[in-house]
Amino acid sequence: MDESIRLAHGGGGKLTEELVKKVILPYFDNPILRELDDSAVIGPIKDKLAFTTDSYVIKPIFFPGGDIGKLAVCGTVNDLAVKGAVPLYISMGLIIEEGFLVKDLVRIIKSASIAAKESNVKLACGDIKVVERGGADGIFINTSGIGRIIADVSSRKAKPGDAVILSGSIGDHGIAVLLARKEFKLRSSLKSDCAPLNGLVARMLAVSKNIHTMRDLTRGGLGTILNEIAQASGVSIEINEEKIPVKEDVKAACEILGLDPLYVANEGKLVAIASIRDADRIIRSMKKNGYGKGSSIIGRVTTGMRGKVILRTGTGGKRFVDVFSGEQLPRIC
């Protein structure tokens, strides 16, 4: 097989078939995908379904703790999981730039397949397109996913008195990716938190039927997501700055670069809004999962200023946490 991608690899002919059979199938082989038809036949699936799609254009495509392949699978799996769904199937569309190295593509596909196996999802279908040099910045990936709903959670269901639960430290992914670009002379051993969270969510749902809202903290970070929940539910959310874990490397980088960790992206963290009666039980279950060991209660839902998020600072004061209006870290997913 060629060492780099040619335009003909996206033409639907012999080279496309070679790419699929030598690069994709060895890592994602399953009876559904093996048919290689224009559509995949899946099911039967009982209950309601959750359906999501997302595109990944991260730069750089390889970063400490992951790459665009792992990110694409985890991002789609997590979007399903926090909606109260068991992820079942994903699709994957590859838009590859002419000249992209095949060995790098293999590395990405292998990484994606490892994430899929950990998540227990099957790749059901996919597509490959090749564009001219300069047309895709290496590789872009689109993934869609289908999951079976097992819990009724929504951003509209947060209730006054509920606990705000965070699964761990914030800002790891955004800062790790930013530093990987080597645009700043900052050294760090920080890795992205990119991870599939469906196993963690399954533990949470197994111990409580009173989890009202779950969201994964991707673009916009914790601050933006909490604002979206407060506005959708018509409630106020108050969080305690001292309860929010931020790694020292993230703090240092944010201070130097003028960033706020509350708005820095994550790819392996979630926030849950749940009945205070079940909060301790939920956290105990989360800590039994590797991706939830840093879980804690960071705040509560109140009847104060509807649609607003309030931060109680370390000095005892309070300030509003607004929705971030710009783009702090371009191309982090």
CATH number at residue 194: 3.90.650.10
Q: Which of 109, 126, 132, 50 is nearest to 83 (CA)?
A: 50
Classify residue 83: in a domain, yes or no.
yes
Residues 195, 199, 205: CA angle, nearest 5 degrees:
130
Helix axes 68-81, 198-207, angle to 10 degrees: 20
Q: Is 249 within a domain?
A: yes
pTM of the model: 0.95
Q: Is residue 252 part of a domain?
A: yes
Whether 82 and 215 map to the same domain: the answer is no
Last residue of a domain, one of 149, 176, 199: 149
Q: Tell me which of 149, 171, 186 is where a domain ends.
A: 149
Query: pLDDT per residue over 48-82, tens digit each?
Result: 999 999 999 999 999 999 999 999 999 999 999 99
Are residues 304 and 237 part of one domain?
A: yes
Judge whether 38 lies within some domain. yes
Judge if 219 and 145 occupy the same domain.
Answer: no
Are 110 and 183 found together in one domain? Answer: no
Quick check: is 332 in a domain?
Answer: no
Residues 300/276, Cβ–Cβ less than 8 Å: yes
Give yes or no: residues 176 and 282 share one domain: yes
- What is the full per-residue pLDDT of the chain (333 aa) written as tens digits? 789 999 999 988 899 999 999 999 999 999 999 998 889 999 888 889 999 999 999 999 999 999 999 999 999 999 999 999 999 999 999 999 999 999 999 999 999 999 999 999 999 999 999 999 999 999 999 999 999 999 999 999 999 999 999 999 999 999 999 999 887 777 888 999 999 999 999 999 999 999 999 999 998 899 999 999 999 999 999 999 999 999 999 999 999 989 999 999 999 999 999 999 999 999 999 999 999 999 999 999 999 899 999 999 988 899 999 987 766 666 788
Q: Are residues 47 and 95 in the same domain?
A: yes
Q: Which domain holds residue 137?
A: 7-149
Please state the domain count of the chain.
Answer: 2
Choosing from 126, 149, 172, the residue where a domain stops is: 149
Task: List own/partner pairs for 317-325 with CB under 8 A and 24 or more apart.
Answer: 321/223, 321/226, 321/227, 321/239, 321/262, 322/223, 322/227, 323/220, 323/223, 323/224, 323/227, 323/228, 324/220, 324/221, 324/223, 324/224, 324/260, 324/263
**Residue 2 within a domain:** no
Q: What is the CATH number of the domain that holds 99?
A: 3.30.1330.10
Regarding whether 260 and 198 lie in a shared domain, the answer is yes
Residue 314 lies in a domain: yes
